[in-house]
Amino acid sequence: MRALIQKVSRAAVSVDGQEISRIGAGFLVLLAVKIGDTELQAKKMADKIAKLRIIDDGTGKLNLSLLDTKQAILLVSQFTLYGDSDRGNRPSFIDSARPEQAKPLFELVAAELRASGLELQTGSFGAYMQIDLTNDGPTTLMLEI
């Protein structure tokens, strides 16, 4: 399981020109599920996202988490994070899990984050989406579990 985490001052997702989700300060998380990923990995990913200390503590140090600051998460499915272009210019996505495996694990990550008490919004799984965001920092990290 792979997540690209961007610290944002705001982010929104639209489908077919209609905004479906919006957050203020927090994390935009693009989440990809790989073939063979498990529920345990999904739970570990949610825990890592909630506790990741990449928010400024007021002294210039990235020392606070979403749990500390009660900021929000916008979680968006993103199978292309497992794109592999080693053999040419057209990426292969054969490592990405099929929707029937990926969607339940995506939803488990979302449920775990909600259970931690954080405000959570999501994109629309499998839809063609437009994401509008303002990076904060910018601070961007790739996590793999």
From 6, 41, 71, 78, active-site residue = 78
- The catalytically annotated residue of 79, 106, 121, 122 is 79
**Residue owning tokens 């904060």:** 136
Name the maximum alpha-carbon separation found in the chain: 46
Residue 108's Cβ-side half-sphere holds a number of Cα atoms within 13 Å equal to 18
DSSP three-state, residue 125: coil
d(C-alpha 131, C-alpha 22), whole Å = 10
CA pair distance 113, 31, nearest whole angstrom: 13
With vertex at residue 84, the alpha carbon angle to CA 47 and CA 136, rounded to the nearest 5 degrees, is 45
Q: Is 79 a catalytic residue?
A: yes
78: annotated active-site residue: yes
Q: Given its phi and psi angles, is residue 36 left (phi above 0), alpha (psi -120 to 50 degrees) or beta?
A: left
Cβ atoms 71, 29 nearer than 8 A? no
Active site residues: 78-80
